[in-house]
């Protein structure tokens, strides 16, 4: 099984045995309540220098409240899993939280352009699917997974992937290195206090991110009773023993759409895009994050109950989202 | 593809439209009925497939990167809410995740991939990562997103881009998503990509391109209001030109009616800055954009 | 990436490109009704010599009606994916349908013992999880998947697996060859006429088997309207384009338990075990299969509506099974 | 493990029980609270963990091969309906599939694996495939099922088997599921198995075994009604004998009450042919089975 080609980029060390040992020593097997504030979850479980994955994004059932809290707490030197992202990467880069990005996709603009040009941020190249596949490998406890895409691109040359000779077919096959992030933040519609979490609608890699990551923070629109979880176990997307913190975060995906719960806040979405495009993230942070103790305070000051209710009313679709 | 090469449209020629609408209608006519499409999230590709399903290919099915399978979306979309969004995933036959989409395409279940891009080269390679010299002086863009998987795994890749000099180059500054790579026979297979896949068409507001048997971009058809010379003037690297360059039909009133009133009433994607064209029943005249 | 050790058993050829070509040419992308009788589905889609996978088993939400139909039609020379099986393997071996078995687990007994001793059937050794992982590799369009189990066993030596040096960690890692069966039979609670199928409760590898197999037959307790599928897309376990035939098979898992629909028929379960244990499969077939055109006729003659209603009533659990 | 080595039981010594019940109670007392168990489908292992959750380890959680996670099963089970069954999966926290169980164990989430087996050897290797010379004159059995993954991936493997000569051998006829393989240091790791995993205990109706630091099976404790000599007489290959062989407690009335009335009222597993033992308050006397 010869190695035919290898990417030249640094990548998070592949260490399935080390991850197993971490899981053995730190993942809670017992049913213990994990409900805490966004502030406590982020301060306890996100450390400077962490490899950081967020599922979905700031506009689409993503952990927007948790992203704002990461910025509020001024975390530094994060290595981002930058897949399927619109503004999340730009916001975190603009807020000075980021030193490295594994790129699947992020919304470009002056903020990232400048950070990369100045050498403040290094970018390594993948694709969205290759990143979710790396997370799947990590979620399976494996060192790598094969993939039929990515080979031959310049991304491959600037990644941690390898092209090898498949010992079964003799043909070339790309191997993507497993990814076991230090921390994952995920927003879901429903979770119980133990971390049994339900995602409704499509997703990106919530299950993979939760199982692959050392520390997992789940924010939820609703905290539901465990009895409800037990009444429909087929709806559980992430089991409790993968989860370290549960945050009750109504409108936790604002300004995005949270399927079955509320529509997106279009002016706020456009305002966020503009901040990235014009490298005005600091102004965005000054307005939406810095002045407030938490999102509840921010919603009161900048959005208001009436507007939030309008967003709820705008979400007319419930089929498939409300069991 | 149904309606052959998209040069033929059904209905009444529209008297006034913009070139973005022209591009979307051209692609819509190329959509093959009862085939599967992996459509890049949002923009021209999604409007093209939705328009096709309404008018030309009612049995075409599509998936998106977030694992939406065969939806009947609730239109119009809110800005950027074209994936992991309740309206975009409405009435799907199944909901999955990104790895669902990747696996199904990897299995060969996706006939066509439909993409937008920043830059394309003579071998159909796609750049959405950086313009300039990567790692040195380059303008940074967003990366391949789902395009790399679409271009690698769907059987045929259809690309949408603008007809601008800097977009048609000899070799892209960065191969974000694979075309025919260096253009040699078997280059994709040597890179581990599945055989029988690759670039199929490129569509701009002015032109449609296919590929020669030796995997080079070829100008196949033009919009009625531009000449081959005008198109070539907007290609930094000149494509091969077909012996007979076809002429694309302009949009029809029926197409525009659906596009403007049902699919994109706010003109979010179809109203983009792009030149307007008027048709007096005999000739098309372009008003500079 | 050196090969450190290799199993010596024959295994179904690994050919992801060939499978892609089959999918391209034969899987129906359009929404076409696929409803047909068990007889027509088995005669059209199961050929002598096929590699044959059944999901779950004869006693546990398995495709028991379809297994009986395979026996009724006297299919021959099948290569069985013998994972998580109680009597299925024994019944098919005893009925003379089988020449090879990839073993995860099957209920042993005189029938199989004799067939193996006589050389009528060859057995290759895996484990349940290695078999479902092989199916997952096939369902991902990959040539193999790594696995952290199986290495060092005698099963490995009598399998198609390989132990290689992981190019990322330098450690030994086992690779399991992908499996793309010729045909899969799967029993589900609900499906529409196009093959969009819903499984409720746990399962073994229904999704993997459906996506990995060239020909897929789904039998369902209920045929539901596609409108119902579209109202809750998160419940779809298998999408239509993987499925070739849909069979309406009430009590299709009899004598087993079908979660939410009916309990197991204990005397019939014990009778089936006894047939395998005492190598009396021919008598079993003479009684339950041969005399009848289909299962409906068999149920009328041997079970009766009253008994079937009792089995329905015995299934008091509906939570999680009836959306 | 909670209650140390299972030699201590809480409650009133039972006056009459069979040896299968003894074995299940012994394992139940070894179950560690607030730990995860991958339990082989049905039989002694499942009754042992269910009994433990009732009496000794209320916070222990278990999964089964079909992806049932932390259920509260509706007892009793119908015969063989211990997996992919509505009663066995009742009130679970999550439902998955076989690959769910395999992946979660592969990730290191399963503290203990609990198994039945046909044959075990001095290094804890497990045979459930064939007795005799494989491929020549052998009696065929069912194969590893889930046991190979359990024995390879859970942190500690606890084995249940009968105390019979042919079950305790120098080397199993076929390694279906891995113990310490050839017993040399690092043998499991050289075979690609995760480090820090492996055989932990073996429990029979007469005895409990652990392993020496050099990975050999060691007799650690005996039932009160049998001698070390009797146990060794039922081992084809003699295990190491601990300097101090502990004495296991007999079942308690509380344990049997739950086992017989709630878990297995039909005696499907606990009533198997096995010798009966009576306790007169001072001594245990075994009535040949």
Is the Cβ–Cβ distance between B117 and B158 less than 8 Å?
A: no
pLDDT over 90 percentage in chain B: 88
Measured at the alpha carbon of residue B25, what is the angle toward residues B24 and B27, in degrees to the nearest 5?
65
Q: Is B81 on the interface with A (CB under 8 A)?
A: yes
Task: Give me the residue from B79, B177, B187 closest to A269, CB to CB.
Answer: B79
Are the Cβ atoms of C133 and D144 closer than 8 angstroms?
no
**Per-residue pLDDT for B1 more than 50?**
no
Are the Cβ atoms of C171 and A143 closer than 8 angstroms?
yes
Instruction: Confirm whether the ipTM is greater than 0.85.
Output: yes
Which residues of chain A make contact with C145, given a CB cutoff of 8 A? 142, 145-146
Find, in chain C, the residue whose alpha carbon is nearest to that of D152: C149
Task: Give me the residue from C155, C257, C260 closest to D78, CB to CB.
Answer: C257
Which residues of chain C make contact with D177, given a CB cutoff of 8 A? 127, 153
Residue D268 neighbours by CB distance under 10 Å? 17
pLDDT, tens digit only, all 289 positions of chain D? 334 455 566 789 999 999 999 999 999 999 999 999 999 987 899 999 999 999 999 999 999 999 999 999 999 999 889 999 999 999 999 999 999 999 999 999 999 999 999 999 999 999 999 999 998 888 999 999 999 999 999 999 999 999 999 999 999 999 999 999 999 999 999 999 999 999 999 999 999 999 999 999 999 999 999 999 999 999 999 999 999 999 999 999 999 999 999 999 988 777 767 899 999 999 999 986 5
Smallest CA-to-CA distance from D198 within D211, D207, D209, D208 is with D211
Q: Is A103 on the interface with C (CB under 8 A)?
A: no
Are the Cβ atoms of A173 and B192 closer than 8 angstroms?
yes
Are the Cβ atoms of C139 and B103 closer than 8 angstroms?
yes
Question: Where in C179-322 does DSSP place strands (E)?
Answer: 183-191, 197-198, 215-223, 245-248
Span A243-301, pLDDT tens digits: 999 999 999 999 999 999 999 999 999 999 999 988 999 999 999 999 999 999 999 99
Find, in chain A, the residue whose alpha carbon is nearest to that of D89: A233
Mean pLDDT (chain C, rounded): 97
Test the D interface: residue of C149, C156, C205 with most D CBs within 10 Å: C149
Are the Cβ atoms of A14 and C178 closer than 8 angstroms?
no
Test the C interface: residue of A146, A160, A174 with most C CBs within 10 Å: A146
Find, in chain C, the residue whose alpha carbon is nearest to that of D101: C129
Q: Is A268 on the interface with B (CB under 8 A)?
A: no
Q: Is D95 on the interface with C (CB under 8 A)?
A: yes
Which residues of chain A make contact with D104, given a CB cutoff of 8 A? 211, 239
| Cα radius of gyration rounded to whole Å, chain D | 18
Q: What is the three-class DSSP state of C6?
A: strand
Span A148-188, pLDDT tens digits: 999 999 999 999 999 999 999 999 999 999 999 999 999 99
Which residues of chain D make contact with C130, given a CB cutoff of 8 A? 148-149
pLDDT at res. B194: 98
Task: Give me the residue from A60, A113, A116 closest to B83, CB to CB.
Answer: A60
Are the Cβ atoms of C20 and B196 closer than 8 angstroms?
yes
- Please give the helix or strand (H or E) that residue C22 lies within, else none: helix C16-26
């Amino acid at each position: 099984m010869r190695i035919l080609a290898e990417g030249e980029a640094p990548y998070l060390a592949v260490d399935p045995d080390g991850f197993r040992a971490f899981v053995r020593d730190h993942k809670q097997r017992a049913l213990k309540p994990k409900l805490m504030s966004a502030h406590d979850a982020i301060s306890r479980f996100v450390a400077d220098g962490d490899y950081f994955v967020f599922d979905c994004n700031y506009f689409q059932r993503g952990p927007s409240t948790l992203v704002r809290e990461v910025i509020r707490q001024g975390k530094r030197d994060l290595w981002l899993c930058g897949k399927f992202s619109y503004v999340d990467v730009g916001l975190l880069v603009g807020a000075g939280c980021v030193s490295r990005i594994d790129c699947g996709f992020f919304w470009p603009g002056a903020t990232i352009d400048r950070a990369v040009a100045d050498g403040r941020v290094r970018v390594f190249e993948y694709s969205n699917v290759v990143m979710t596949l790396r997370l799947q490998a990590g979620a399976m406890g494996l060192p790598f997974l094969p993939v039929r895409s990515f080979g031959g691109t310049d991304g491959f040359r600037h990644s941690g992937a390898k092209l090898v000779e498949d010992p079964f077919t003799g043909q070339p096959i790309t191997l993507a290195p497993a990814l076991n992030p230090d921390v994952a933040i995920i927003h879901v519609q429903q979770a119980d206090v133990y971390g049994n979490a339900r995602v409704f609608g499509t997703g990106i890699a919530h299950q993979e991110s939760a199982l692959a990551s050392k520390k997992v923070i789940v924010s939820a629109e609703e905290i539901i009773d465990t009895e409800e979880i037990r009444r429909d176990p087929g709806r559980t997307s992430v089991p409790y023993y993968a989860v370290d913190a549960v945050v009750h975060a109504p409108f936790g995906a604002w300004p995005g759409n949270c399927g079955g719960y509320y529509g997106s806040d279009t002016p706020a979405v456009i305002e966020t895009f503009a901040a990235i495009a014009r490298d005005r993230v600091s102004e965005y942070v000054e307005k939406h994050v810095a002045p407030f103790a938490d999102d509840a305070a921010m919603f009161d000051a900048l959005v208001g109950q009436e507007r939030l209710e309008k967003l709820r009313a705008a979400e007319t679709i419930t089929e498939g989202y409300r069991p | 593809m149904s309606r052959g090469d998209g040069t033929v449209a059904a209905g009444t020629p529209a008297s006034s439209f913009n070139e973005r609408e022209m591009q979307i209608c051209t692609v819509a006519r190329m959509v093959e009925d009862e085939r599967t499409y992996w459509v890049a999230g949002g923009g021209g590709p999604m409007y093209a497939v939705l328009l096709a399903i309404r008018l030309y290919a009612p049995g075409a099915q599509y998936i998106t990167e977030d694992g939406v399978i065969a939806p009947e979306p609730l239109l119009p979309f809110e800005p950027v809410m074209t994936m992991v969004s309740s309206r975009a995933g409405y009435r799907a036959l199944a909901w999955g995740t990104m790895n669902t989409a990747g696996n199904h395409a990897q299995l060969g279940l996706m006939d066509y991939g439909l993409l937008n891009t920043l830059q394309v080269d003579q071998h159909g390679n796609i750049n959405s990562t950086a313009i300039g010299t990567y790692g040195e002086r380059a303008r940074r863009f967003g990366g391949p997103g789902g395009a790399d998987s679409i271009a690698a795994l769907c059987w045929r890749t259809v690309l949408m881009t603008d007809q601008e000099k800097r977009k048609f180059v000899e070799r892209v500054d960065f191969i974000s998503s694979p075309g025919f790579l260096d253009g040699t026979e078997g280059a994709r297979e040597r890179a581990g990509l599945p055989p029988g896949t690759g670039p199929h068409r490129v569509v701009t507001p002015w032109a449609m391109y296919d590929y020669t048997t030796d995997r080079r971009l070829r100008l196949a058809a033009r919009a009625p209001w531009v000449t081959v010379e005008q198109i070539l003037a907007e290609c930094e690297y000149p494509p091969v030109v077909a012996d007979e360059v076809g002429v694309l039909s302009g949009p029809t009133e029926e197409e525009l009616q659906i596009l403007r009133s049902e699919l994109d009433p706010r003109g979010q994607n179809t109203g983009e800055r792009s030149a307007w064209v008027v048709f007096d029943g005999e000739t098309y005249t372009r008003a500079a954009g």
